[in-house]
Structure 1
Amino acid sequence: MKLRYYAITDKGNFRSHNEDSLLAIETIICSQTHGELDSVQTLDTDSVAGLFALADGLGGHEAGEVASRVALEKLSWMERAIRPIEELPPTGWKNLLRKINNEVNSYGESIHKPKMGTTLVGCLLGKRKSWIFNVGDSRLYHLDKDGLRKVTVDHNISEELGLSHGRHLLTSCIGGGSKSMEADIFDYSGKLSKGDFLLLCTDGLTEVLNIDQMEKILRESHDLRETCRILSEEANIHLTRDNHTVLIIQVESV
């Protein structure tokens, strides 16, 4: 597949700092009031698999920005160490994420922040296999000819029990002092077509924009940088109370 991608992160209106981090191939952006990739980037997955991920440090807990950064650093390191990572089976991906969970917990203990934790959502797009993974309530959406749909399942009380409340009560995360992290792994091989988009985002976006609003922006904007900036601006206009990060991948050909 030939891909184009761009990403942006912003602290939002009310937070004093940004606990979100993003990973796009080998670029990590973290702890920035506002950060963007330098330009719209391209990738040919016939040459190398593409790893993309977002992490949202848990608000209300100490060192959330450290947890999100460490999780993405460990993920990036493992992607380079395990080749070809796209050939990992689902059990291998779950073991990889458990290893990251243990690493974040250990690092938190070493700096006397044992409760630091983060969400993690991402995708690995390769020549033969593609994977989506998720821990927590950061999301990945897929836009195709039939519309925008959420691929991931939020790990929170609201979604898991079908309640109207409890959206901020996570049932799984990376770190947080927990040894019982649960992850969702989706085999997404062969499910992307020319012209499709993947949207990865943290809940600072989805708490103020619904799926119809996001789809309208994705369909009407024709430049990835412009689309990311519009989504970020709309989150701030709608007075999001959280940091927000947006990463968009466009499939140019398969």
Structure 2
Amino acid sequence: MTTLSAAASHVGKVRANNQDSGYAGEHLFVVADGMGGHAGGDVASALAIQSIAHIDRPFDTASDAAAALRDALLEANQELAETVFEHPELAGMGTTVSGFVRVGDRLALAHIGDSRVYRWRDGTLTQMTKDHTFVQRLVDSGRITAEEAAVHPRRSVLMRVLGDVELSPEIDVEVLETRPGDRWVLCSDGLSGFVEEDRIGELLDENPDAGAAVEALIDESLDHGAPDNVTVIVVGVDDTPSSSAGLPQTVGSASRPLSYVSPTQRRSARLPALLLHPLTPVTDPEDEYFEPESEELLAELLAENKRRKVRRRITWSVGLVLIASLIVGALVAGYQWTQSRYFVGVSNGQVAVFQGVQQGFGPFPLSSVYFESDIDIDDLSPFSRERVESTINARDLPEALSIIDRLQDELD
């Protein structure tokens, strides 16, 4: 009898420990790829899986499942942040998460990071998630091609993860259609970073049994050197409501008891080196880093080549008038930009939404109170109070107000 779903995780040929985790249940299937050093990556991916696994249950609609899955990922993010608060030696840990809940002929999918979900249908493999990486942004903006992205020196820089970076990270959530005969592959970049998609499709075609397919995909990654951990889940779809063929299966670091490393055991933290999952073997495979999403950083990197061209074309004949105009225009545009930003902080002892940015221009502040809530800063938990006092950035006003709502929910 053909097995519909299976999961497995392998440490790879270079790393000393497995920082991946995976869960294949009755309705829920999810992969997490952790980062943050020898212990942090293990803890991050395992905590994420444990925080999400409770929604492995039937849902009335795929929309309900999608909302529950998104909330579970946000709860996992909060759990990771609070763990770092209690264990400062784990600062900087994070994890990617890609998974879905099956509801009949629909899948509620949620995704953050660069782990992937593929669909195999009628002999064609299709990537259903978009990597949250710097090079993917370059591809989307037309700066480079997909082929150039595969060899780009910053191809492993993540822009979004779950962790202690953002209180409310942006998570991709969507509902997809599925049908009998489809096969779905969830994997960490230990597979997608080393095995071509055409080859993944060939191995799925050659191995109708999910267990055999998982084993073949991991073996293929190992044959390519596999310097990274590799985790694979294969899910087949038939006419039954779920895709499970047995008891829930947990793999990777989530399958073992959590282990925290004391501060004296951890190496001193170093500044992010813009490396997360190296695509070639490195001297110390335990060093992993990520760069949180920053619109300013991204804009700077994307505009790098353009500024070089502009500087080459500028001549002294432009004149002082044009230079003065550019300066004035930049100041005006800069001020307008600051007023499009929002953050959550403290005003008169209350949690408030500020319009602008925290920095000032000399003696002139660049922010003002937009909305002062009824939440007393002293009523918050020590963790939340510290985050608010340090200010929490928001991409826009709705997100800032949603942060206020989440803090209010904490008090209710």
**TM more than 0.5:** yes
Aligned to 1:187: 175
Aligned to 1:207: 193
Q: What whole-Å deviation, never above 9, does each CA across 1:77-134 have from its counterpart, x for those lacking one?
A: 3x16996584427566444422221111111221221211100000100137421110
Aligned to 2:162: 174
Identify the structure with bigger relative contact order (alpha carbons < 8 Å, sequence gap 6+): 1
> Does residue 96 of structure 2 align to residue 110 of structure 1?
no
**Stretch of structure 1 that moved more, 53-62 or 103-112:** 53-62
Looking at structure 2, the residues matched to 197 and 82 of structure 1 have their Cα atoms a distance apart, in angstroms, of: 20
Q: What whole-Å deviation, never above 9, does each CA across 1:211-247 have from its counterpart, x for those lacking one?
A: 1010000001122211111111110110021000000
**Stretch of structure 1 that moved more, 12-21 or 157-166:** 157-166
SS at match of 1:131: strand
Give 1:146 deviation, angstroms.
5.1
Distance 1:64 1:103, change over 3 A: same
Q: What whole-Å deviation, never above 9, does each CA across 1:174-232 have from its counterpart, x for those lacking one?
A: 104333522111211xx212211000000001111011010000001122211111111
Comparing both structures, which one devotes a greater share of its residues to helix? Answer: 2
**Stretch of structure 1 that moved more, 56-65 or 243-252:** 56-65
Which one has the largest radius of gyration? 2
Looking at structure 1, the residues matched to 65 and 212 of structure 2 have their Cα atoms a distance apart, in angstroms, of: 36
The residue identity in structure 2 corresponding to 1:120 is V
SS at match of 1:119: strand
> Does residue 109 of structure 2 align to residue 132 of structure 1?
yes
**Stretch of structure 1 that moved more, 85-94 or 199-208:** 85-94
Is 2:28–2:57's contact at 8 Å kept on the other side of the alignment?
no
The one of 207, 222, 229 equivalent to 2:208 is 222
The residue identity in structure 2 corresponding to 1:133 is A
Aligned to 2:13: 13
The residue identity in structure 2 corresponding to 1:70 is L
Comparing both structures, which one devotes a greater share of its residues to strand? Answer: 1
> Does residue 131 of structure 2 align to residue 161 of structure 1?
no
Identity of aligned residues (%): 28
**Stretch of structure 1 that moved more, 165-174 or 122-131:** 122-131
Looking at structure 1, the residues matched to 201 and 217 of structure 2 have their Cα atoms a distance apart, in angstroms, of: 10
TM-score normalized with structure 1 length: 0.81
SS at match of 2:237: strand
CA RMSD of aligned residues (A): 2.3
In structure 1, stretches of 5+ residues that fail to align are 26-42, 44-49
Looking at structure 1, the residues matched to 182 and 57 of structure 2 have their Cα atoms a distance apart, in angstroms, of: 30
Looking at structure 2, the residues matched to 238 and 175 of structure 1 have their Cα atoms a distance apart, in angstroms, of: 30
**Stretch of structure 1 that moved more, 16-25 or 59-68:** 59-68
Is 1:118–1:173's contact at 8 Å kept on the other side of the alignment?
yes
Is 2:97–2:112's contact at 8 Å kept on the other side of the alignment?
yes
The 5 Å alignment of 1:1-254 reads 4-25=4-25, 50-58=27-35, 60=37, 63-77=40-54, 79=55, 86-88=62-64, 93-112=69-88, 113-127=90-104, 129-145=106-122, 147-162=124-139, 163=144, 164=149, 165=152, 166-188=154-176, 191-253=177-239
Looking at structure 2, the residues matched to 225 and 216 of structure 1 have their Cα atoms a distance apart, in angstroms, of: 15
Distance 1:63 1:141, change over 3 A: same
Aligned to 1:39: none
Give 1:249 deviation, angstroms.
0.4
Looking at structure 2, the residues matched to 53 and 146 of structure 1 have their Cα atoms a distance apart, in angstroms, of: 24
Is 2:52–2:69's contact at 8 Å kept on the other side of the alignment?
no
The residue identity in structure 2 corresponding to 1:130 is L
**Stretch of structure 1 that moved more, 158-167 or 112-121:** 158-167
Looking at structure 2, the residues matched to 211 and 220 of structure 1 have their Cα atoms a distance apart, in angstroms, of: 14
Give 1:64 deviation, angstroms.
0.5
Is 2:48–2:73's contact at 8 Å kept on the other side of the alignment?
no
In structure 2, stretches of 5+ residues that fail to align are 241-412
Give 1:137 deviation, angstroms.
0.3
Looking at structure 2, the residues matched to 80 and 240 of structure 1 have their Cα atoms a distance apart, in angstroms, of: 31
The residue identity in structure 1 corresponding to 2:52 is L
Looking at structure 2, the residues matched to 20 and 96 of structure 1 have their Cα atoms a distance apart, in angstroms, of: 18
